[in-house]
Amino acid sequence: MTRRISKRKRFVMMNPIIQFFKFIYLSLKILVVVAGGHGGTREVK
Amino acid sequence: MSRIVVLGAGISGHVAATHLRRKLSKEHTVTVVSPNSNYQWVPSNIWVGIGRMEPKDIIFPLEPLYKKKGIEFKQAKVVTFHPEGDTEIDKPFVKAEYVAGEAKGTTEKVTYDYLINATGPKLAFEMTEGLKPATNKAYSVCTYSHATEAWHALDQLIQQMKQGKKAKILIGTGHAKSTCQGAAFEYILNVEQELNRHGVRDMAELTWIANEPQLGDFGMDGMLLSYGSNIMKSSELVEMVFEDRGIKWIIGAGVNKIEDGIAHYETLDGEFHTESYDFAMLIPAFSGHGFKAYDKNDQDITEKLFKGFMIVDADYTPRPYEEWSVQDWPETYQNPSYANIFAPGIAFAPPHAISKPRVSKNGTPISPAPPRTGMPSGITAKLVADNIIDTIKKKKPSLHHKGSMGNMGAACIASSGYGITKGSGISITTFPIVPDFNKYPDTYGRKLGKTFGEIGLAGHWLKLALHHAFLYKAKMRPFWWLIPE
Ligand SMILES: Cc1cc2nc3c(=O)[nH]c(=O)nc-3n(C[C@H](O)[C@H](O)[C@H](O)COP(=O)(O)OP(=O)(O)OC[C@H]3O[C@@H](n4cnc5c(N)ncnc54)[C@H](O)[C@@H]3O)c2cc1C
């Protein structure tokens, strides 16, 4: 069954104050994914 | 002294050229060959396509910047590759044809010590009969000029809807093997919000059409992600959003022909259907540019360099889906036949798809080609530049910098509506891009904490912040290199 976006969730999604903190949280979280770096996948023989 | 030639000035070509210039002394030359005089921040084309940004907001001319920074620029398109030179020139070169200025139409042999092919994809509209931007009521947002045309047509339709016209809008993929579903996904959500803003949402039937076997596949076999305190499949997330916005969907659909206001498509169950529309935005198939390569004696050696896109250090051995491995994906983007040629971004030939290949009951392949979004395009370009820089500085071959899409995360902020207080974005991160089923066997090949989704206003702010940050970086403003790819 399809999940629905609840009224409460919608409020959280569009509330600028809550979303300001979310913005900071997301920026940091994304930075972690980016800063997690990258590399190869093949073993060096 | 080394001469590095970069083909293309999109996200990957520009990243490579700017890093090379910053880190190499002026005795080495960096030359960019690209047919477009402007740099464009492609992800913001979506906002040009809904009239909330203008092309001037997302582009800037390359020549003045390159001149100032000491990067040579040739507004030309490469036509042939000659990695061994020819009977006249004993150095590798590419043949480039000028597309503007006094030299327009003339060709030049541009010699190099290192070549970075960052020519991205060819937008292969011709692979779908009748699909051509701004023809048959079908549009594209793949370039800023396409996006501008799309907005003009959509705006006209909105005005007609205000007069009482009911309209059908179709958005998605325009070929059975298209990729870049994410861009179409962003566009449909932005269009939906704009229809609301103009008070005509109830006059429009909005339909998503895609070659994805499931919603939220995005050419990446979908993903399992954390969403708040829940764990959700991307298909469930997208379904939730579409339901919320009243968007219908047709999936597993290979569009094969476009007529005036009619899309013909075949579905995975082998059925043939049509969908009528008043406005469509359909992403075409992406293909290689069809470049040819020749050896010293002018013999055709195209198969050493190209397999549609450029051949790099991937394992191209054909194998069934079950035997695909993350190790098949390239790490250094170096051509195996010519060690001084590299292809980052979309220009490299992927070893295979990421999504499971599917064929319809009639044998037609209908499944997404593998996407390569902005972030991996930038990262792979930078690592290619770094390896060339090391090789030049250390005076011996160095391939120390590696970045497989199987060991690299991607952040994708899908805009789902524009506006400082009314906007929204769906922020999705994935790690790794190509699933590693050995490392993460229980979570569809991805690391759960690093693969998450979030919906809300903050996503829009983030997308807007990235727009400004990446344009700042691309313009090489002070400390630009501190902004990661
Ligand atoms: C509408 C849209 C929205 C997107 N949104 C996002 C997003 O939100 N996030 C994200 O991460 N990714 C997004 N992407 C994907 C992202 O734009 C691509 O991954 C990225 O542009 C690829 O960079 P590239 O440099 O490899 O190729 P391109 O950007 O295509 O650049 C190729 C360059 O090569 C040049 N060229 C072409 N032919 C020749 C020739 N013969 N000789 C010399 N030069 C040539 C072109 O002019 C261009 O400068 C989006 C894509 C689209 C279409």
- Tell me which residue of A15, A11, A29, A25 sits closest to B449, measured CA to CA: A29
Q: Find the mean pLDDT for residues B343-349.
A: 98
d(CA A28, nearest CA chain B) in Å: 11
Count Cα atoms within 13 angstroms, Cβ side, for B155: 11
Phi, psi of B457, deg, nearest 5 = -55, -40
Q: Kindly give the distance from the C-alpha atom of residue B372 to the centroid of ligand 1, in angstroms, as a whole number.
A: 9
Reading the block at residue B198, the tokens are: 């103009």
Instruction: Express each pLDDT in B360-377 by its tens digit.
Output: 999 999 999 998 888 999
Instruction: Express each pLDDT in B15-40 by its tens digit.
Output: 999 999 999 999 999 999 999 999 99
Q: What is the pLDDT of residue B454?
A: 86
d(CA A3, nearest CA chain B) in Å: 5
Q: Find the mean pLDDT for residues B328-342.
A: 98
Q: What percent of chain B has pLDDT over 70?
A: 100
Q: Kindly give the distance from the C-alpha atom of residue B12 to the centroid of ligand 1, in angstroms, as a whole number.
A: 8
Q: Kindly give the distance from the C-alpha atom of residue B357 to the centroid of ligand 1, in angstroms, as a whole number.
A: 24
Q: Find the mean pLDDT for residues B144-160.
A: 98
Atom of ligand 1 nearest to the CA of B42: 17
Instruction: Express each pLDDT in B77-117 by its tens digit.
Output: 999 999 999 999 999 999 999 999 999 999 999 999 999 99
- Report d(CA B401, CA B384) in Å as an integer: 7
Return the CA Rg of chain B.
22
Kindly report the average pLDDT of chain B as a whole number: 95
**Degrees to nearest 5, angle at CA B63 with B148 and B28:** 135
Q: What is the pLDDT of residue B268?
A: 97
Question: Quick check: A45 pLDDT over 70?
Answer: no
Question: Is B391:B398 a contact under the CB 8 Å cutoff?
Answer: yes
Q: Find the mean pLDDT for residues B164-192.
A: 96
**Of B135-139, B376-380, B437-441, B449-453, minimum mean pLDDT range:** B449-453
Chain B residues whose CB is inside 8 A of the A28 CB are none
Number of domains in chain B: 1
Determine, yes or no, domain membership for B419: no
Question: Is B61:B471 a contact under the CB 8 Å cutoff?
Answer: no
Question: Quick check: B126 pLDDT over 60?
Answer: yes
Determine, yes or no, domain membership for B66: yes
B107 strand-pairing partners: B97
Determine, yes or no, domain membership for B34: yes
Question: Quick check: B348 pLDDT over 80?
Answer: yes
Output the domain CATH number for residue B78: 3.50.50.100
Chain B residues whose CB is inside 8 A of the A4 CB are 240, 243-244
Using the Cβ of B407 and the Cβ atoms of chain A, whether some distance falls under 8 Å is answered with: yes
Instruction: Express each pLDDT in B218-259 by its tens digit.
Output: 999 998 888 877 888 999 999 999 999 999 999 999 999 999
Range of the domain at B347: 3-121+287-404
Determine, yes or no, domain membership for B126: no
**Degrees to nearest 5, angle at CA A23 with A20 and A28:** 135
Number of domains in chain A: 1
Nearest to A22 among B411, B422, B456 (CB): B456
Choose the mutation target among B245, B457, B463, B482 for the interface with A, i.e. most A CBs under 10 Å.
B457
Determine, yes or no, domain membership for B216: no
Determine, yes or no, domain membership for B162: no
Return the residue whose CA atom lies nearest to atom 5 of ligand 1.
B43
Instruction: Express each pLDDT in B391-424 by its tens digit.
Output: 999 999 999 999 999 999 888 888 999 999 999 9
d(CA A7, nearest CA chain B) in Å: 11
Q: Which protein residues are within 6 Å of ligand 1, measured from CB?
A: B 7-13, 33-36, 42-43, 45-46, 77-78, 118-121, 141-142, 180, 183, 289, 345-347, 372-375, 377, 412
Determine, yes or no, domain membership for B388: yes
Handedness of CA B122, B125, B126, B128 (dihedral sign): positive
Range of the domain at A10: 2-44
Cβ-based contacts under 8 A for chains A and B: 100
Q: Kindly give the distance from the C-alpha atom of residue B405 to the centroid of ligand 1, in angstroms, as a whole number.
A: 17
Q: Find the mean pLDDT for residues B316-336.
A: 95
Q: What is the pLDDT of residue A1?
A: 64
Q: How far is CA B89 from the centre of its chain?
A: 35
| Local confidence band at B287 (pLDDT 50, 70, 90 cut-offs) | very high
Q: Kindly give the distance from the C-alpha atom of residue B370 to the centroid of ligand 1, in angstroms, as a whole number.
A: 14
Q: What percent of chain B has pLDDT over 90?
A: 89
Using the Cβ of B440 and the Cβ atoms of chain A, whether some distance falls under 8 Å is answered with: no
Ligand 1 test: best mutation among B72, B110, B119, B281, most atoms within 8 Å of CB?
Answer: B119
Q: How far is CA B185 from the centre of its chain?
A: 14
Question: Quick check: A44 pLDDT over 60?
Answer: no
Q: What is the pLDDT of residue B228?
A: 76
Q: Which helix (H) or strand (E) holds A35?
A: helix A16-35
Determine, yes or no, domain membership for B328: yes
Q: pTM here? A: 0.95
**Of B22-31, B151-160, B383-392, B446-455, minimum mean pLDDT range:** B446-455
Instruction: Express each pLDDT in B289-312 by its tens digit.
Output: 999 999 999 999 999 999 999 999
* Cβ-defined contact of B331 to A4 (cutoff 8 Å): no
